[in-house]
Amino acid sequence: MSHLLELQKISKSFGPVQALHEVDFSLQAGEVVGLIGENGAGKSTLMNLLGGMLQPTAGQIKIDGSAVNITDAISAAQRGISFVHQELNLLDNLNVAGNIFLGREPRKWGCIDETRMADQTRPLLDKLGLDIAPEHHLAELTNGQKQLVEIAKALSMDARILILDEPTSSLTIKETDTLLTLVETLREHGMAVIFITHRLAEIERVADRVVALRDGELAGHLSREEISHDRMISLMIGRDLSEVYPPLPDAIGEVILSVDHLTTARWPRGGASFSVQAGEILGLAGLVGSGRSELAQAIFGVDESPSGSINVEGTLLERGSVDAAIARGVFLAPEDRKASGLVLEMSVRENMTLNSLNRFSRRTRIDVTREREQTEQWRQEYGVKAPDVEQPVGDLSGGNQQKVVLAKWMTLGPKVMIFDEPTRGIDMGARHEIYQAMADLARSGCAVLMISSDMEELLGMSHRIAVMCEGHLTGILEPDQFSEASIMKLAVQTGGTAAPPK
């Protein structure tokens, strides 16, 4: 029997980096396959090959048994492959129908036939159980509804293969449930679905089969009966969890950072109160958009915070001033390394010293020689794999970039170090080094706040876990309460129907 979709010995390399190595994959009509793997395991690369964003270096893609060449997103769509990205590809300034038919609008006399477009949209929305009008403006929808609009768009293109990349990462529990039910309905109609997620419970519920990738290679399959949380984890990681997460320091000192009813510009009615002690790593969990990053930015002072107070070692920290935060030893390794953490075009040396140039300058002049010697020493100390410190950081891997960020801040002697998604897009080897550095930092008496969306990371690297939902801190879990379920319960506590205020 020929498969609907078959990938044979697919390889993809980016220059010297082998992202995928001889991966086999197959898909039947009416089947939901869970695709799992750590960040950087090659899931996105594999799916981008299917979606036409990338071309394989070697191997073959077969649809209905015949080899095809997917050159771009349009040719993928023509072959019935529809890719719903994690970051939704929708236009906020159009209505629902306009988004669904973007680029394929029905026309009359050269103008868009709005009536016909709306008529064609309505049955699609009904099919998905989405109770909104085609004329509804997209900006007014919640994330969950937008996700469904994306799927409606896929249906309108007669997709036979639907790729869902982390579809639930910003959805509430109720919306997630709706989406999973929908996936089950689509399966009954013969749709083949590739479901990518970090939430293993969702895979347990909907997947007929699990395919795991690790470091660009096929790590294994699980059939419906074999699917279990622990087996998926061991397939993804390929090693014992204790090899990934170093032991945490057990000497907890006095309170270093204490935050009282702090609000953020995005969630002015929210508020968070918590404290972090010396030697402690406090995990901060929550859905994407729950206000965790905004809270971190408010503490670091790059964002204004309307109200509340921040205390460092018992004295008040001025809100909304990066200078004040840095002077008090409160540092942030931001979520988006490329946008906020580093200047990619600049060298390792220039990036490492950008926050501390006064240490390398006499009056206004930069002492480049001293700067080079010192950063070379740091480069070796932090194990940044680069030929020398003059290498632009944009040429380094994610793990090495993150080490540059760590060196940049840790050498300033942090009192409070905030990590926002410290290991996103970083391979397992480098992750271990970063976890080790975090643990060492805590052991030296620093208070660490770690924002993460990675459940395993939160559970493995935190002394306590605080959870946020819609700008509020909904609870703090002690180690004996640690579980994925208890985190999720707090993360969606307020029910979450409203889109965040703009």
Partner 1 sequence: MLSRYRKELCLLLVLLFVAFWTIIFSRNREADGLLTALLESRFLSGRNLENLARQIGMYGIFSLGMGLVIISGGIDLSVGSLMALLGTVFFYMLTGAHAWIPGMHWPFAMALLLVLAVAIGLLHGWLIAKIGMPAFVVTLCGLRGYRGLAQTLTRDTSLGYYDATYSIEGLDRLMTGELFGMPAAFIAFLVISGIVYYALHQSVFGRYLLALGRNEQAARYSGINTTRIITYAYIACTLLTCVSALFFALYTADVVPSMHGNFFELYAIAGAVLGGCSLRGGEGSVIGIILGTTVLLVLQNMVNLLGYDSSFSKVITALVILGGVLVDRFEIWKWVSFRSKTA
Question: Which residues are registered as beta bridge partners of 12?
Answer: 20
Q: How far apart are CA 196 and CA 207, in angstroms?
A: 10
**DSSP β-ladder status, 315-317 and 272-277:** unpaired
Which residue lies nearer to partner 1 by CB, 195 or 300?
A: 300
Which residue lies nearer to partner 1 by CB, 21 or 328?
A: 328
Least Cβ distance, residue 229 to partner 1 (angstroms): 37
Which residue lies nearer to partner 1 by CB, 274 or 300?
A: 300
Q: For 396-478, where are the alpha helices, taking DSSP H only?
A: 398-410, 428-443, 455-461
Which residue lies nearer to partner 1 by CB, 350 or 454?
A: 350
Helix (H, G, I), strand (E, B) or coil at 35: strand
Least Cβ distance, residue 141 to partner 1 (angstroms): 28
11, 56 in Cβ contact below 8 A?
A: yes
Which residue lies nearer to partner 1 by CB, 223 or 369?
A: 369
Cα 261–256–463 angle (5° rounding)?
85
Which residue lies nearer to partner 1 by CB, 67 or 343?
A: 343
Where on the chain is the footprint of partner 1 (CB under 8 A)?
300, 302, 322-323, 325-326, 332, 334, 339-346, 350, 354-355, 357-358, 361, 364-366, 408
- Of residues 450, 363, 441, 453, the one with CA closest to residue 409: 441
Q: How far apart are CA 406 and CA 417, in angstroms?
A: 10
Q: How far apart are CA 188 and CA 36, in angstroms?
A: 23
Least Cβ distance, residue 264 to partner 1 (angstroms): 16
Helix (H, G, I), strand (E, B) or coil at 466: strand
Least Cβ distance, residue 329 to partner 1 (angstroms): 12
What is the radius of gyration, based on Cα positions, of the chain? 24
Helices (H) and strands (E) in the chain, counts: 17, 24
Which residue lies nearer to partner 1 by CB, 339 or 498?
A: 339
Helix (H, G, I), strand (E, B) or coil at 11: strand
Least Cβ distance, residue 374 to partner 1 (angstroms): 15
Least Cβ distance, residue 247 to partner 1 (angstroms): 31
